[in-house]
């Protein structure tokens, strides 16, 4: 199935329903011509998916989706993922609340990360709908992890390829009084993963969840992770998106990382994320 997908999505795509405006040559595209408040037809989904595989994160403007429409969009991509601990809205744990205001002590997703990589089967996609934006700021940055891997030397790639890393999350008190949905996850994943659709290799360690590289000393692990976490910060791999109320971003956690900038205190930024279940990462 995945190989068939790859053949389909590696063909040049003749977009008939949407227009695709790249945000940078390496990552990110703004999509026009898709109304996400309506049922996404198979033909539209195929074009969106092809653009997503190429640009890794897609942006849509002026999409006043209801919670049900947001959930339905997520289900086009697959089974929904439930965050281990985050607060949610509408009494539905699939609707993760993304909210920062003058009372917040931290901002969700402030450091570079791939969503919930501490899960054994981490989410493949995240769909963020921002409802309220601050007067200025509150942008999100994404990094292309294929590029992050490809830009390394052949010798360094060879060193990384056989390695596994421990990812772990400790949510105790992280979301204040909100009780976690399930235990603190932890998982072992390859440091370099193969994307199940594109079959391309991507660097898969992130400062949010990756704690230790296995099979080397702790000082070697620390030095290697510090180097890789710094490498991800290279702006040549990035795009940056300025939200407006009812913008939507759909990103691929298998080949990107992101970070949300908190430069707008004490203003409010608020939205909802629907997250789509992924497979166990493989080499
Ligand atoms: C996240 O899902 O990590 C939050 C991203 C954002 O708020 O822009």
pLDDT of residue 6: 47
Strand partners, 99: 270
Distance, CA of 180 to CA of 172 (rounded, Å): 8
Cβ pair 56, 31 in contact under 8 A: no
What is the predicted pLDDT for the residue at 1?
A: 38
pLDDT in tens, 239-272: 999 999 999 999 999 999 999 999 999 999 999 9
Instruction: Say how many Å lie between the CA of residue 108 and the centre of ligand 1.
Output: 6
Mean pLDDT, the chain, integer: 94
pLDDT digit string, tens, across residues 3-33: 444 444 555 678 999 999 999 999 999 999 9
With cut-offs at 50, 70 and 90, classify the pLDDT of residue 57.
Answer: very high
Strands 57-60 and 29-32: parallel
Chain-centroid distance of CA 129 in Å reads 13
Q: Which of 113, 189, 254, 269 is catalytic?
A: 113
- What is the spatial distance between Cα 8 and Cα 13, in angstroms, rounded to a whole number? 9
Give the residues surrounding ligand 1 with Cβ less than 6 Å away: 98, 108-109, 115, 126, 128, 140, 258, 260, 273
Q: Helices 2-10 & 42-55, crossing angle to 10 degrees?
A: 80
Report field, pTM of the whole predicted structure over 0.85: yes
221 pLDDT higher than 80:
yes
Domains of the chain: 19-276 (3.60.130.10)
User: What atom of ligand 1 comes closest to residue 107's alpha carbon?
Assistant: 7
């Amino acid at each position: 199935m995945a190989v068939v997908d790859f053949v389909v999505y590696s063909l040049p795509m003749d977009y008939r329903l949407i227009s695709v405006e790249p945000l940078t040559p390496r990552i990110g595209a703004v999509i026009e011509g898709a109304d996400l408040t309506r049922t996404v037809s198979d033909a539209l989904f195929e074009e969106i998916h092809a653009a997503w595989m190429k640009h890794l994160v897609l942006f849509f403007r002026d999409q006043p989706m209801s919670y049900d429409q947001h959930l339905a969009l997520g289900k086009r991509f697959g089974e929904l993922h439930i965050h281990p601990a985050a607060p949610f809205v509408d009494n539905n744990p699939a609707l993760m609340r993304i909210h920062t205001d003058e009372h917040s002590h931290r901002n969700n997703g402030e450091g570079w990360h791939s969503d919930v990589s501490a899960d054994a089967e981490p989410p493949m996609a995240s769909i963020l709908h921002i409802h309220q934006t601050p007067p200025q700021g509150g942008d999100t940055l994404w990094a292309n992890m294929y590029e992050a891997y490809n830009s390394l030397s052949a010798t360094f790639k060879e060193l990384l390829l056989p390695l596994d890393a421990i990812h772990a999350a400790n949510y105790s008190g992280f979301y204040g009084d909100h009780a976690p949905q399930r235990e603190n996850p932890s998982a072992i994943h390859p440091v370099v993963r193969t994307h199940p659709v594109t079959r391309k290799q991507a660097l898969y360690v992130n400062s949010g969840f990756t704690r230790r590289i296995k099979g080397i000393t702790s000082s070697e692990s620390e030095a290697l992770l510090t180097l890789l976490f710094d490498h991800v910060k290279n702006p040549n791999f990035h795009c940056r998106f300025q939200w407006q109320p009812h913008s939507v971003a759909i990103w691929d956690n298998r080949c990107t990382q992101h970070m949300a900038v908190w430069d707008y205190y004490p203003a409010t930024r608020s939205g909802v994320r629907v997250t789509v279940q992924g497979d166990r990462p493989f080499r």
